[in-house]
Structure 1
Amino acid sequence: MNTDQEAILRLKNDAHLQEDRSAWRPTLLNLADADDREELDRLARCGLVHRVYDCLSRQIADLAKTRAAGNMPDDVALAAFQRELTDGMPLERWGRWAFYPWNGNLVHLLPSDLFRELRLNRNRNKLTLAEQDRLARLTVGVAGLSVGNVMALTMAMEGCFGTLKLADFDTLDLSNMNRIRASVWDLGVQKTVLAARQITEINPYAHLVLFQDGLTEDNLDDFLGGETPLDVLVEECDSMHLKIVIRERARQHRIPVVMESSDGSVMDVERFDLEPDRPILHGRIGEVNVEGMSPEALQFDMALRINPISGLTTRMAASLLERGETLSTWPQLASDVVVGGGHVCMAVREIGLGREMKSGRRILDPLALMTDGPREEPKPRASESRLPKPADRDDWRQLRPKMRSVVEAAVMAPSGGNAQPWRFYADGDVLWLAFDRDRSTNLMDRGGRASMLSLGAVAENAELQAKSLGWDTEVKTFPAPDQRHLVASLSFREGSPALDPLQPYIATRHTNRRMLPPAPIPAEKTAALGRAAQERHAEMVWEQDRERLDRWARLLGEVDRLRLLHPRLHRDLVGELRYTPESAAHSRDGIDLQSCGLDANALAGVFLISRPDVSAFLRAENGSRGLTKYGELPVRAAGALGLMVTAGTRPEDWFQAGRAMQRIWLAATAQGLGFQPVGSILFLLEWFEKAEEGFFNHWEAEVAKSIVEEFRNLTADIDGVPAFLFRVFESPQPVEPAHRLPLSKLVRVGSPIGRPLD
């Protein structure tokens, strides 16, 4: 044996230099504990600790800086922060020491909760704190740790799981290192161990479960279920047989599956949690005849069923022809694999957060996008109606004069954003009222409740007009149970004319948004509105105390601030606006901004906040308190705030509430009162109550929670369901009613039974 051989042999036999090739879990030591101090002494005596990294003071300073929104405290403030954080404990005994047995490193770190807070701080606000907490409860499985390695690491860096299960039977070869981030001294280490080491070197507190024999018939159900059932499975196995089996079991367990093919960035999502009967791999594999097929031929055939030749990139298709000739297997590039790791992490995150991530195949090829050349950004367009515009029909011309008069009165009813979500079918002496859901796309119309109010108001107008023409009316709600879009039928028969005192005000009823100095509303006028409500089994609650009105103003100001800044709520709100009288006259729906009584400054402000880029900037800056004025001013200019209360929450109840609402509004018109709905809180309350579920960003969630709390306080003594909120004020100046869609877009002749809404 020569000198070199002897030297190498001595190194190999030196116990201090031997690595446990199966070790992957760091030892966490708390030196405030005597046993852990003794364990650290043992590690030092045995020579197992090779390097010590103690930068805890830097971590504490970094934590102080992030909590101060990026402003580093001065030395005095930092020392005070450290004393408070450690409760005066010597720094050496505070926090945790992580010992990594595979490399001998000993690292001093923040405790787990502070470590997580600081490590994931830069995720905000791409991920809100509520979203991060939700992801921290997620259990994800990764089967196959070649391309799966980077997916696991990406999810670990982003904090996309609380528990991660890793499965692979193989060890690292040099040929794997074109796409697996590893060191040459990791050759021969199991891929599960390698991934676990890499993850715990990022986060020593990570909860990992390793399946080092890969997935087998004996352990597959434990991998998918067990003590911590999977919420999402990332499948990146080479075996086509295992791809099928694991999906069959995942479907039984109702676990969604995500897979990314690095060629052309093809990502498959199978939502077995939502579609338990969905065919595996989108039904692509069909029936496989394995008779006479070698395992290699079966693998190749199945691979091409999953990713047909027509979908392969040119180089991958050419490489497949060389497989078994000049190539041992199909090629993979690190750039493709890294991109795929990001795609899979995004998909897991969206599924874990309960966002929409439908089943199906996605082609996400970034190279194709880059080589196509740059694309011009679309230029912003002026806001226009998102509502459909059905073709005109001549049916309305066939209406008898009385029926036409009834319909013309009916369509004068109010609706949220002047969307007019109604259609009519005239069939003899019956007028059918239908809910047009295509005109009800606003988030505020959750469950169609706002539309039911409007449809109830339509029915009230129709009956009032019919009575004035000598028709008795029978109103039936939801007369065709199998056609829920048919909200009501109004059957007419000849009777004696009976003029309701509210009927003459149908044509002049309007929304008055003027801001006039507030004046008390006489008791006889509020009493008249109360009687109108009771005629349709509703009750009125009045707010006239200025202190409580101020509380309502602040509350509704915060509601409008969120509406103006949250992207979807902003889109809905801006979509209601018509910026010029010409656009309002053309569309015949929406709110004519010029008729809102705004002064030049306020009007300019609306135009500015209507721009999505302005709204997005303000939202990123945690909102603009000045935006609350749009909700506050109407209440501060109110003589009184009225809250209509009803008994139930079924669609029928909301329909009846709409009839009461219309009578109240007509009574206000008869009393010479200005009238403006201000009740968006009632229709957004359920969204605010779900502030923790990722709908809002972090500061919006806090505002939403405070809105819910204050609303509950203000309505604590109310017995019933708050259904409609409005302000009234003395207003001698009439306002022009909003535009209405022409009857040619709304009326059809004939029975709607068995006929879809057209």
Structure 2
Amino acid sequence: MTDTQNATTERAGSDDAVVEILDESNAADRARLVSIEKDQSVRRLDTLREQQISLAAVIPPPDDALLTESPRWVYYPWRSSLVRMLGPDGFRRLRLDRNRNKITAAEQDRLTGVTVGVLGLSVGHAVAHTLAVEGLAGTIRLMDFDTIDLSNLNRVPGSVFDLGVNKAVVAARRIAELDPYLRVEIAPGGLDEDTVADFLDGLDIVLEECDSFDAKVIVRDHARARGIPVIMETSDGGVLDVERFDLDGERPLFHGLLGEIDAAALSGLTTAQKVPLGITLLDAARVTARMAASAVELGRTISTWPQLGGDVALGGATCAAAVRRLALGYPLPSGRIRVDLDAELGSLVDPLTATPPPPRSATAPDDVAVTFGSLPDREAVVYAGMRAPSAGNAQPWAVSLDDTGVTVTLRDGAQRGDIDRRASAVALGAMAFNIDVAAAARSVAGHLAVTGSGSDLALRYSFGDGADPQRADLLDAMLRRATDRRPGDGSPLSDDEVDALDTATRVSGGFARIVTDRAALVRCGGVLAASDRIRRLTPALHAEMVAEVRWPDSDADPRTGLTLDTLGVGRGGLGMLAVTRRSDVMALLAEWDAGSALGAPTQGLVASGSAIVAICQDGDTSADHVRGGTAAQAMWVRACELGLSICPVTPVSLHARDDTDREALSPGRADELSRLDAELRALFGVDDGRSIAMVVRVFRADGAPPVSLRRAQS
């Protein structure tokens, strides 16, 4: 087929479905345009500039070849009109742009190689048009012997100007007006033993929507022999049938519902004689009441099967969904489904009165200072220790108290991101800080010992009889310390505030790299956003992240993890949070290598802050990470004294030490994580041989944030 014709026919009078596509850069086409324009009745429609502006605005931006593609003039003889359009590639890119990502660009390209045949262009008109609208085929072949009658216009989306025109021609015209570049073929006449071979030749899928039972049998018989799947929609109760003759060459026609059936015996059946077959095929027990009652009246008070335009439109949608799955290789077995909108509308649920699942009873948060003050000295020290922060409020510790001290070990079941239990070591360091401050305040200060490494890491705080007023002065801020996940006001830190944070970190055995430059903050935000994207697109990491959140329908212990009120998202943000909770959504974004927006909340929060701080330590042993955690908690408590808020924004691979760690963390993304880690270390100026225990954003926000609950003493 040439560029100047998108519909072919051998049927007399159907040439009115053929358009001419003319390229002004071609001399012959220019001459033809001149010839057409001599006819004063021909109208011109030129919106090329607007089309070009829209094409240039699509995301991702089209390449120069698409933007400079030669436009075309399309001549529609039945409308006596010339329409100027983008070239075929640009037209297709722009017309189908809004399909993404219901249909990806790669899938859309695959669909151009699909050829479908539509038999019967009453219901089939809606089917063929929907296939064209969605771009589900590169070629659509249409067959119907009949012409449009006024009685067809209750369901066929034609017009009074189409009366007396072949139904296939009417459908082809409508598709040509939608997309003149889509190849449409009109098969002549009706389907019988003489024409079925030509109709099926080269088809990948058949959509059968004809009234004739003998034609239904013939097309299935031959489609089964050729291994071509057949789809049929019946406009009663939304019945959709799929017969995968491509998978089973012995499968009985119509799922065996009509038994052995002979096309010759069905030839010439009257409407009344078709009724039993139709009712049997649809299942008498499940035919809608109105259709069943109408069947009794056929030939008496009504002349033929009733059909509604809405039911026919629904058939176009369900057939298109089936074609999409078939053509793209997604699972679609032989079988039947009912998409009965009337039945569904009879079961409407009012969200205002629907009973939500009962939420798990929540534990009221402690008044931390009051609770601490009410406890005996040693129990108070343990209580303060367990108020320490941990990644996702996982509280990875097990704590035991005896007469001489507190022993802290690690629980089993480390998360994937807790490589060699380094994140847990940081949490134990924060706990050690809290224990030491509380012990100083209760005059039982002693000394800390760190033993073991990895999963065998343990702390032992031995009580003494010491008091440290300077240390005890930190108690109030330590008990008030909380993670604040709200945005900041963007105000800068003063030099005194920066010095105070830096000093608190150094006194506790670590050091801080504090970034306050606005441009550097933006770069940090980009790195952290990219890391968050990887966290969500990696199934195991995403599952761990989702498990941290305590949704109202969650059975998890609300004294661990993060309740919704602590996440800092408004009501409008909960919907998107629920979307990012879904593993199927993340799987699609990973498959498409998309999801850049997944890190946008982190990037925005970083941009709203006053500083990004990396709390670091020399060395990389478990004891070093404990020391880093202590330094991080010391800085956090000092920030609380200064009226500053803190929220960890630790990147997913912060504790990875090599590409083996990174590959285990997120398979296939080791290189990307390595690049992000190197970029972050460079931004903070962290040398080799030094480790980062935690990355936090520092900011100002009004009021106190909600406080996460903690387990009881374990």
Q: Would the TM-score normalized by the shorter structure come out above 0.5?
A: yes
The one-letter code sitting in structure 1 at the alignment partner of 2:27 is A
The one-letter code sitting in structure 1 at the alignment partner of 2:234 is S
Preserved contact between residue 172 and residue 187 of structure 1 (Cα < 8 Å): yes
Preserved contact between residue 60 and residue 82 of structure 1 (Cα < 8 Å): no
2:43 to 23, 48, 51: 51
- TM-score of the pair, normalised by structure 2: 0.55
Preserved contact between residue 213 and residue 263 of structure 2 (Cα < 8 Å): no
1:33 to 26, 37, 42: 26
Corresponding residue for residue 244 of structure 2:
271
Tell which deviates more after alignment, 100-109 or 170-179. 170-179
1:213 to 185, 189, 196: 189
* Aligned ranges 1:420-431 → 2 under 5 Å: none
Q: For the residues of structure 2 that align with 1:515 and 1:626, how far apart are their CA atoms? A: 28
1:346 aligns with 2:338: no
Corresponding residue for residue 298 of structure 2:
323
Q: For the residues of structure 1 that align with 2:670 and 2:128, how far apart are their CA atoms? A: 39
Deviations 1:77-135 (A, max 9, x none): xxxx9999775x9xxxx510001122211111111111112222233343332333233
The one-letter code sitting in structure 2 at the alignment partner of 1:169 is F
Identity %: 35
**By how many angstroms is 1:137 displaced?**
3.0
Q: For residue 28 of structure 1, give the secondary structure of its aligned residue in structure 2.
A: strand
Q: For residue 559 of structure 1, give the secondary structure of its aligned residue in structure 2.
A: helix
**By how many angstroms is 1:148 displaced?**
0.4
Corresponding residue for residue 120 of structure 2:
144
**By how many angstroms is 1:183 displaced?**
2.5
Q: For residue 349 of structure 1, give the secondary structure of its aligned residue in structure 2.
A: helix
2:337 to 344, 362, 369: 362
Deviations 1:380-429 (A, max 9, x none): 65999xxxxxxxxxxxxxxxxxxxxxxxxxxxxxxxxx9xxxxxxxxxxx
The one-letter code sitting in structure 1 at the alignment partner of 2:230 is V
The one-letter code sitting in structure 1 at the alignment partner of 2:17 is W
Preserved contact between residue 221 and residue 249 of structure 1 (Cα < 8 Å): yes
The one-letter code sitting in structure 1 at the alignment partner of 2:313 is V
The one-letter code sitting in structure 2 at the alignment partner of 1:272 is F
1:514 aligns with 2:446: no
1:333 to 308, 322, 340: 308
**By how many angstroms is 1:369 displaced?**
2.3
**By how many angstroms is 1:554 displaced?**
8.9
What do you get for the CA RMSD once the two structures are aligned? 5.1
Preserved contact between residue 515 and residue 637 of structure 1 (Cα < 8 Å): no
* Aligned ranges 1:243-642 → 2 under 5 Å: 243-288=216-261, 295-296=269-270, 299-376=274-351, 512=421, 513-514=423-424, 516=426, 557-563=532-538, 572=543, 579=550, 604=567, 613-616=576-579, 622-625=597-600, 633=650, 637-638=654-655, 640-641=657-658
**By how many angstroms is 1:30 displaced?**
0.6
Preserved contact between residue 635 and residue 641 of structure 1 (Cα < 8 Å): no
Q: For the residues of structure 2 that align with 1:631 and 1:132, how far apart are their CA atoms? A: 42
Preserved contact between residue 554 and residue 632 of structure 1 (Cα < 8 Å): no
Corresponding residue for residue 135 of structure 2:
159
Preserved contact between residue 608 and residue 614 of structure 1 (Cα < 8 Å): no
Preserved contact between residue 577 and residue 593 of structure 1 (Cα < 8 Å): no
Q: For the residues of structure 2 that align with 1:636 and 1:201, how far apart are their CA atoms? A: 54
Preserved contact between residue 559 and residue 680 of structure 1 (Cα < 8 Å): no
- TM-score of the pair, normalised by structure 1: 0.52
* Aligned ranges 1:636-655 → 2 under 5 Å: 637-638=654-655, 640-641=657-658, 643=660
1:180 to 156, 161, 183: 156
**By how many angstroms is 1:21 displaced?**
4.6
The one-letter code sitting in structure 1 at the alignment partner of 2:196 is L
Q: Given the superposition, is the C-alpha separation of residues 123 and 41 from structure 1 closer, same or farther in structure 2, using an over 3 Å criterion?
A: same
2:86 to 110, 118, 126: 110
The one-letter code sitting in structure 2 at the alignment partner of 1:336 is D
Task: Count residues with an aligned counterpart.
Answer: 473
Whose Rg is larger?
A: 2
Provide structure 2 residue ranges, at least 5 long, that are not aligned to the other structure.
Answer: 1-11, 361-393, 395-408, 416-420, 430-452, 455-525, 586-594, 607-646, 677-690, 694-714
Q: Given the superposition, is the C-alpha separation of residues 145 and 639 from structure 1 closer, same or farther in structure 2, using an over 3 Å criterion?
A: closer
**By how many angstroms is 1:640 displaced?**
2.7
2:206 to 233, 245, 257: 233
Provide structure 1 residue ranges, at least 5 long, that are not aligned to the other structure.
Answer: 1-18, 70-80, 385-417, 419-504, 520-524, 527-550, 645-676, 686-706, 715-728, 732-758
Preserved contact between residue 529 and residue 602 of structure 2 (Cα < 8 Å): no
**By how many angstroms is 1:593 displaced?**
9.1
Q: Given the superposition, is the C-alpha separation of residues 579 and 165 from structure 1 closer, same or farther in structure 2, using an over 3 Å criterion?
A: same
**By how many angstroms is 1:614 displaced?**
1.6
Q: Given the superposition, is the C-alpha separation of residues 107 and 709 from structure 1 closer, same or farther in structure 2, using an over 3 Å criterion?
A: farther
Q: For the residues of structure 1 that align with 2:264 and 2:105, how far apart are their CA atoms? A: 55
* Aligned ranges 1:58-73 → 2 under 5 Å: 58-66=50-58
Deviations 1:556-601 (A, max 9, x none): 654213248xxx996x556755859xx88xx8xxxx89778x9x99
Corresponding residue for residue 679 of structure 1:
664
The one-letter code sitting in structure 2 at the alignment partner of 1:266 is V
Preserved contact between residue 528 and residue 602 of structure 2 (Cα < 8 Å): no
Q: Given the superposition, is the C-alpha separation of residues 316 and 57 from structure 1 closer, same or farther in structure 2, using an over 3 Å criterion?
A: same
Q: Given the superposition, is the C-alpha separation of residues 118 and 32 from structure 1 closer, same or farther in structure 2, using an over 3 Å criterion?
A: same
The one-letter code sitting in structure 2 at the alignment partner of 1:295 is L
